[in-house]
Amino acid sequence: MYRILLVDDDPHIQTTNEAYLKKQGYQVYRADDGHSALALIQTAELDAIVLDVDMPGLDGVTLCRRLRETSSVPVIFLSAYAKTDDRIRGLMAGGDDYLGKPYSLVELELRLRLRIQGRQNVLSSAVLCFDELEIDLGLREVRYNGERISFPPLEFELLAFLAQNPRQVFSYEQLYDHVWKSPLNRGLHNMQVCMARVRQKLKRICPKRQYIETIRQKGYLFRGEPETN
C-alpha cells in the first residue's frame, strides 16, 4: 500500500482526492497548509506527496525546496497556476511532476503510481538480511525478528544505502551526495541528526551488535554481508 500526503488548503479538493485515492488502495494523509505538512513529513513514512502551490503562509514551492534539503520523496505539484513559467518554477524547486487544475483523478493516480514505481529498480525488490535484521527495499521497511520498525523515508534511505554497500567507508559528503542527491553545503547538521537516529534505533533493537561503525576522520561503514532474498 502506497502512502500519500495530500497538501491543499481547499477542503473540497482534499476530500475528493482522498476518497478517490483510498478507493484505489492508497493510504492517505492530509495537511491543510505548508507548516502542517512539514511537521507531518518529519514523522510519516511517505511514498509521494501531492502539493498545492498557492497556500497561505508556507507556499508549496517553498515547502518543496525545504523538503529537498532532507528528502527525495516524489512530489507532484497540483495547481491552477499551470503556465510554462509556473511549471518550470515548480520543477526547479525540486518537484517531480506538475499537474494543472482542473485535472483528471485517473491521471493524477496514474502519475502518482508512475513516479513511485519509477524510483524502484531491480534491486528494490530485494530484502537484505543481516541475521534477524531485514531491510526490505521493495516495501521500504525495516524489520527485526519479523517486527516492523519505524524508519521515516530519509532514515530508511540512509540505512539502505549503507547496507547495500557493506564494509565501504563513506564520508558525510559522500552520504549526503548519494542519499540527498545534492551537495552537502549547509546540510551537515541534518545528516548528523539523521545518522544519530538510525544508529540509536539499531542499538535499541539489537544492543549487542554494532551495525554502523565510525571510522575516525574518514566516515562510516556498515558491518556484515547481507543475504539477499
Question: Do residue 143 and residue 105 come from a single domain?
Answer: no
Please report the beta strands in the chain, taking only residues with DSSP state E, as ranges in sequence order.
3-7, 27-31, 48-52, 75-79, 97-100, 127-130, 133-136, 141-144, 147-149, 212-215, 219-222, 227-228
Q: How many CA atoms lie within 13 A of 96 on its CB side?
A: 22
Question: Do residue 104 and residue 127 come from a single domain?
Answer: no
Question: Do residue 146 and residue 112 come from a single domain?
Answer: no
Query: Would the pTM of this model clear 0.75, i.e. be above it?
Result: no
Question: Do residue 138 and residue 105 come from a single domain?
Answer: no
Beta pairing class for 219-222 and 141-144: unpaired
Question: Do residue 51 and residue 39 come from a single domain?
Answer: yes
Name the domain boundary from 118, 141, 160: 118
- Report the SS3 class of residue 98: strand
Separation in Å, CA 2 to CA 10, 49, 75, 121, 173:
23, 11, 14, 16, 31
| Residues 50 and 78 sit within 8 Å (Cβ to Cβ) | yes
Task: For the chain, 229 residues long, give each residue's pLDDT as a single digit of tens.
Answer: 789 999 999 999 999 999 999 999 999 999 999 999 988 888 888 889 999 998 888 999 999 988 887 777 889 999 888 888 888 889 888 888 999 988 889 999 999 988 887 755 434 557 888 888 999 887 788 999 988 898 888 888 899 989 988 888 888 888 887 777 655 555 677 788 889 999 999 999 988 889 999 998 888 999 877 665 5
Question: Do residue 98 and residue 160 come from a single domain?
Answer: no
Question: Do residue 169 and residue 108 come from a single domain?
Answer: no
Q: What is the CATH number of the domain that holds 88?
A: 3.40.50.2300
Count of structural domains, the chain: 2
Q: What is the CATH number of the domain that holds 138?
A: 1.10.10.10
Position of cell 524489520?
Answer: 143
Query: How does pLDDT run across 62-95, given as a tens digit for each residue?
Result: 999 888 877 778 899 998 888 888 888 898 888 8
Question: Do residue 114 and residue 128 come from a single domain?
Answer: no
Question: Do residue 44 and residue 107 come from a single domain?
Answer: yes
| Residues 63 and 34 sit within 8 Å (Cβ to Cβ) | yes
Name the domain boundary from 118, 146, 167: 118
Question: Do residue 216 and residue 167 come from a single domain?
Answer: yes
| Residues 184 and 177 sit within 8 Å (Cβ to Cβ) | yes
Burial class of residue 197, CB neighbours in 10 A (0-12, 13-18, 19+): middle
- Which set of grid coordinates corresponds to residue 189? 547538521
> What is the number of other CB atoms lying within 10 angstroms of the CB of residue 10?
15
Domain span at residue 165?
122-228
